Amino acid sequence: MSKGEATRGAILDEAGRLARRVGLGGLTIGSLATQTGMSKSGLFAHFGSKESLQIQVLEHSKDRIIDEVIRPALKAPRGIPRVRDLFERWLAWDSADGGCPLTAASFELDDQPGPVREHLVRVQRDWTETLATVFASGIGEGHFRPDADPQQFAQDLQGVMLAFHVASRLLGDPRAADRARTAFDRLLEAAST
């Protein structure tokens, strides 16, 4: 990795932390300059616009969830162990300071048309497809009913994840993770052979 790439990665890490606190809408080149101690012109040279910065933060967040949640979970045996590992890793990811930036952005951008929302839609569709694919591999292993619908399971699992995000982050429910695990176990039970 070149020095420029390392610098850009460090800036995007800081931008991601800032976005977790103030949302994507509150993330500007000016606010990032204040946070990092860099000049606005230096950051402008890296990103060009607020919109470009926001898209790159979403992409960087996607790369981090791939590295911290998806890739490690894919090392677990196919079927229930892999689905469970993916879920547990996502819970830990969303429990970090500021929560999952992609989930938070979904609430923030759901009704705001434009390139940032379009990029987020692609990222979220990829996430849904990942959940469905991991579940489908469990059908192939005989862990889940052959007639189970991977897309339905992915949507239901995302419902559990969103409920956890709201209960944990907004409502501060200390039992949010336990409740999410109970709902997750019920999904697995309903889909299992």
Instruction: Report yes or no: 30 and 40 within 8 Å, Cβ to Cβ.
Output: yes
Token code pair at residue 169: 């982050």
β-pair partners for 144: 192
| CB atoms near residue 77 (< 10 Å) | 12
Distance CA 193, CA 144 (A): 5
DSSP string, 51-72: HHHHHHHHHHHHHHHIIIIIHH
Overall size of the chain counted in residues: 193
β-pair partners for 192: 144
Q: Which CATH number fits domain 55-191: 1.10.760.10, 1.10.357.10, 3.40.50.720, 1.10.569.10?
A: 1.10.357.10
Distance CA 161, CA 164 (A): 5
Distance CA 64, CA 181 (A): 23
Q: Global pTM?
A: 0.91
What is the pLDDT, as a whole number, of residue 30?
87
Distance CA 138, CA 192 (A): 9
What is the pLDDT, as a whole number, of residue 21?
85
What residue type is assigned to position 116 of the chain? V
What is the pLDDT, as a whole number, of residue 1?
67
> Any alpha helices (H) in the chain, and if so which ranges?
3-26, 29-36, 40-47, 50-65, 71-73, 80-95, 101-109, 115-140, 150-165, 176-191
What is the pLDDT, as a whole number, of residue 38?
87
Distance CA 135, CA 188 (A): 10
Domain ranges of the chain: 55-191
Token code pair at residue 118: 């379009």
> Tens place of pLDDT for every residue, the chain, 193 residues?
677 677 788 889 888 888 888 888 888 888 888 888 888 888 888 888 889 999 999 999 999 999 999 999 999 999 999 999 999 999 999 998 888 889 989 999 999 999 999 999 999 999 999 999 999 999 999 999 999 999 999 999 999 999 999 999 999 999 999 999 999 999 999 999 8
Instruction: Report yes or no: 58 and 116 within 8 Å, Cβ to Cβ.
Output: yes
